[in-house]
Amino acid sequence: MNRTALRMEHVTVTYPGAARPVLRDVCLEVPEGELCLVIGPTGAGKSTLLRTACSLVPHFTGGTLAGRVLLDGRDTRDHLPRDLADVVGVVGQDPAAGFVTDIVEEELAYAMEQLGLAPAVMRKRVEEVLDLLGLAALRDRPLSGLSGGEQQRVAIGAVITAQPRVLVLDEPTSALDPAAAEDVLAALTRLVHDLGMTVVLAEHRLERVVQYADRVVAVAADGSVTDGTPQDVLATAAVVPPIVDLGLLAGWDPLPLSVRDARRRAPALRARLAPGLARGMDVPTTPSPEVLTARDVHVHHGRLASRRRPGPGSTAESAPGGAGVHAVRGVNLTLRAGDVVALMGRNGSGKTSLLWALQGSGRRSRGSVQVAPGPSDVGPEHADPARLSPRDARRRVALVPNTPQDLLFRDSVAAECAEADGSAPGTTRALLDDLAPGIPGQAHPRDLSEGQRLALALAVQLAATPRVLLLDEPTRGLDYAAKRHLAEVLVRHAAGGGAVLLSSHDVEFVAECASRVVVMADGDVVADGTAAEVLVSSPVFAPQVAKILHPLPLLTVAQARRAMERTP
Amino acid sequence: MRPLALHPLAWWAWALALAVAATRVSDVRVVALLLAAVVAVVILRRDDSPWARSFPAYLVLGGCIVVVRIAFHVVVGIKSPGTVVLDLPRVRTPDWAVGIELFGPVTTTGLATAAAAGLRLALLVVCFGAANALANPKRALRALPASLHHMGSAVVIAISVTPQLVAAAVGVRRAQRLRGTPQRGARAILASAVPVLTDALDRSLALAASMDSRGYARTLPGRSDRRVGALLLLALLSAAFGTYALLAGSSVLQAAGMLAAGAAAAVVASVLAGRQVQRSRYRPDVWGRPETFVALAGTVAAGLLIASSGATGQLLLAAAGAAFAAAPALGSRRFA
């Protein structure tokens, strides 16, 4: 008989000062040994649901909790988070923010030290967890020098050494490249399958996890919650991964959730789509004018280099012994008006360094960058942004960094907009209303959702009317609706005579909006071609639709739908 | 196999003993000898860690101390007779500015005394730096008794937060340049301070949540010991009276007795308080023969150096002391 690991009985959570509850009358029962996936739009209360499940709400965050939460039979009302450390383990979105010690092995032992376990038991469990999560080679390494995927696995290991019954994770893969995300998810499924651990997991990129889930809990915008098997919930859910969308389009029932299941049924669909595809091939147009030309760009980070101007990108700090890092090695890149180019590659491959070097405010040790003037710019024809003042440079090429909140420093949205307007009042607000309508002017930028904050930073940068727009990892923490809207905005910017270069790990988003894909590895450009050419054939970067319909050059459900409509 | 560092307290014992010796030695040659010994030990025994790499900064600081000490001597020092090196005119400040005499002829003896005093201060700082470079400060804090564990954790977090704060400030300033905001002036400081501070606050909240849910500050239920408070009060009072007795010049024995009683009360209170904290230590540092050797080397060196001042054949004794101080340089890394 299955025991219940987590039970919520009529749980309603209201934060102080809030007009309405974040969670409304939630009844939920998660049996032992299940992988439970929590989905829902941004700001709907997924994080609150997870924090309620580990008693951080209300003990740590404040707020009122009505109803009852039972963890392995213990009521969170009577137990502080620290008293539940041996029952529930919590891993946050940014693993580095939760590290207490500085060495992998000590971090793994930290929770057990707090529980007062005997040294012999601790040593044994640390060794077991090192093997279980494939961390044995990293045991002596400093935590700050690990890659994102390794850090996330250490964070998971650090809570499971206390042998909790339930593991709660809030978007564990949102900052990881596809391969590192696979590693983390493989580790999680191993915990569920081999150890019978219960995992409760929130994730925006459903396509990555839905195939592993036993149960899906959908949090609606009004705080109500429905749960059931993945097939049942996803058939009616507002947010669905491409595979489900394709399944609905093809009329498959029951819905396949893994690429493997879908491919088995795909031959018939492929046969239906192929004729429409042959008919509607795009005609290559005449090349439009070049707006950004980069030749032989090199970026070095390191001890000597960083003394004068520290370079962006995290690789500089992690270099052993402070030796220099050759982050970008002779990249040639041309952006034409109308291009939306995606920059892909694993973490640390030089994407961020390249973006900053192209903008002109990051380091560039060698090479040239020429950018055409923006529509409102009266400067010379092509110029090197590094030679221009920051004010003039951003009117040609603007960058939204991977932490958009760094750009914001005023205490209200209205003040930010006024700050960015310059000579033409109201332009930023108009741009913001177009990107994300309905943000109140008196709201504090910190209180916005991830999507709204990105929209504000984007509006601030677009107010300078740049010709070229650079974005570093813009899709972090965005739900499907926000991503679709962002894709539309970027395509529109390009259609207006500009160009967009964005770095992203999100293959589905790239398939949606990019016309061209550039893949980097170890500072080199290893592939540069149309999205279809690069993505369809790649084992790591292929989106789900491409994997299912291979060898047809289709990347998104929208393309498949169009091909189907063209079929006679 | 991984290299296993010595117990951090062994290095601290060694460095503290040498620091005590440094305050008692007056001969500049002995001070220089001791300095050389300390530097040699650090160079041969340190590993490639951030705290070990900070050692040159302590040497630079020591150099600055010597320079400042000599500069003070030239400007305001009392000029001793001897061979004049630099004949500066005496300047008397007006009476409303206290009326002291500045400058005056600088002599070799005066310079030598000032340099020796500066070098002694520098040696103290270098001893502290050596302990810091050789012993991982975080591991040293792990050796604290259980009752001080929470305080130790707070210090460890403070140590790791500072570099993060610097990195965040650099990142935010870089991002601000993207907005084209001016890089100087009060507005620029405000523009970068707000995101850095809010970021730091977010970070500490995330860390606190992580520590809380991993069992930090768990106490055994319902056992708060009143004796701890009483003992701590007793320790505080006897420390106060003992110090007063020591400074007032009454019987040394009485003062020492008071201080010892206070220390004993504090130790008992700490043990009692530690019983309430249920925690254990993962792979604690072991105190073995090498640790005893390092600590002894420091103590013996200190003893010899203190004995050398004023004794016959003092240079021989001092040289032996310095040799003992440098002895840990011969040790090799242990492997586990």
Residue A228: strand pairing partners:
A216
Q: Say yes or no: A180 and A101 in one domain.
A: yes
Mean pLDDT of A4-9: 93
At B311 the pLDDT is 65
Please indicate, yes or no, if residue A218 is contained in any of the structural domains. yes
Q: Say yes or no: A494 and A448 in one domain.
A: no
At B4 the pLDDT is 57
The first and second tokens of residue B215, run together, are 């069992």
Give the pairing type, strands A340-344 and A499-503: parallel
At position B42, the amino acid (one-letter code) is V
Q: Is the pLDDT of residue B120 over 70?
A: yes
Please indicate, yes or no, if residue A132 is contained in any of the structural domains. yes
**Mutation site for B-interface testing, chosen from A76, A103, A114, A171 by largest number of B Cβ within 10 Å:** A114
At A514 the pLDDT is 93
Under the banding of pLDDT at 50, 70 and 90, the label for residue B336 is: very low
What ipTM was estimated for this complex? 0.85
How many angstroms separate the CA of residue A165 from the nearest CA in chain B?
14
Q: Length of chain A, please?
A: 568
Last residue of a domain, one of A442, A465, A488: A465
State which of B56-70, B187-201, B306-320 shows the largest mean pLDDT. Answer: B56-70
How many angstroms separate the CA of residue A399 from the nearest CA in chain B?
7
**Mutation site for A-interface testing, chosen from B174, B190, B214, B279 by largest number of A Cβ within 10 Å:** B214
Asked if B156 and A101 come within 8 Å (Cβ–Cβ), the reply is: yes
State which of A58-62, A128-132, B149-153, B195-199 shows the largest mean pLDDT. Answer: A128-132
Last residue of a domain, one of A449, A465, A481: A465
The first and second tokens of residue B326, run together, are 């440098």
- CA dist., res. A486 & res. A257, Å (int): 26
Mean pLDDT of B116-127: 92
Residues in contact with A416: Cβ distance below 8 Å, sequence separation at least 6, in sequence order: A408, A410, A428, A445, A456, A460
**The model's pTM:** 0.81
Please indicate, yes or no, if residue A181 is contained in any of the structural domains. yes
The first and second tokens of residue A187, run together, are 């580790």
Q: Is the pLDDT of residue B295 over 50?
A: yes
- CA dist., res. A278 & res. A46, Å (int): 44
How many angstroms separate the CA of residue B335 from the nearest CA in chain A?
14
At A64 the pLDDT is 92
- Host domain of residue A428: 402-465
Q: Say yes or no: A59 and A149 in one domain.
A: yes
At A378 the pLDDT is 67
**Mutation site for A-interface testing, chosen from B197, B210, B278, B286 by largest number of A Cβ within 10 Å:** B210
* Structural element, H or E, at residue B335: strand B334-335
Q: Looking at A34-43, B23-32, B55-64, which range is the least confident one?
A: B23-32
Q: Is the pLDDT of residue A316 over 70?
A: no
DSSP A110-125: HHHHHHT--HHHHHHH
Instruction: Report the Cα A133 to chain-centroid distance in Å.
Output: 22
Please indicate, yes or no, if residue A49 is contained in any of the structural domains. yes
The CATH code of the domain that includes A26 is 3.40.50.300
Please indicate, yes or no, if residue A533 is contained in any of the structural domains. no
Under the banding of pLDDT at 50, 70 and 90, the label for residue A304 is: very low
At A311 the pLDDT is 42
- For all residues of chain B together, what is the average pLDDT? 81
Please indicate, yes or no, if residue A174 is contained in any of the structural domains. yes
Q: Say yes or no: A139 and A159 in one domain.
A: yes
For residue A401, give the nearest of B175, B211, B217 by CB distance: B175
| pLDDT tens sequence across A202-236 | 988 888 888 899 999 999 888 899 999 998 888 87
Return the residue of B nearest to A164 by Cα. Answer: B214
At A70 the pLDDT is 93
How many angstroms separate the CA of residue A188 from the nearest CA in chain B?
19
Q: Say yes or no: A425 and A315 in one domain.
A: no
Under the banding of pLDDT at 50, 70 and 90, the label for residue A309 is: very low
What b-and-e string marks burial along A118-138, b requiring 16 or more CB atoms within 10 Å of the CB? eeeebbebbeebbebbebeeb
Q: Say yes or no: A313 and A341 in one domain.
A: yes
Asked if B280 and A116 come within 8 Å (Cβ–Cβ), the reply is: yes
Please indicate, yes or no, if residue A559 is contained in any of the structural domains. no
Domain count, chain A: 3
Q: Is the pLDDT of residue A354 over 90?
A: yes
Q: Say yes or no: A377 and A425 in one domain.
A: no
Please indicate, yes or no, if residue A530 is contained in any of the structural domains. no
Asked if B208 and A60 come within 8 Å (Cβ–Cβ), the reply is: yes
Return the residue of A nearest to B219 by Cα. Answer: A83
Q: Does A85 touch chain B (CB under 8 A)?
A: yes
Q: Contact at 8 Å (CB) between B16 and B150?
A: no
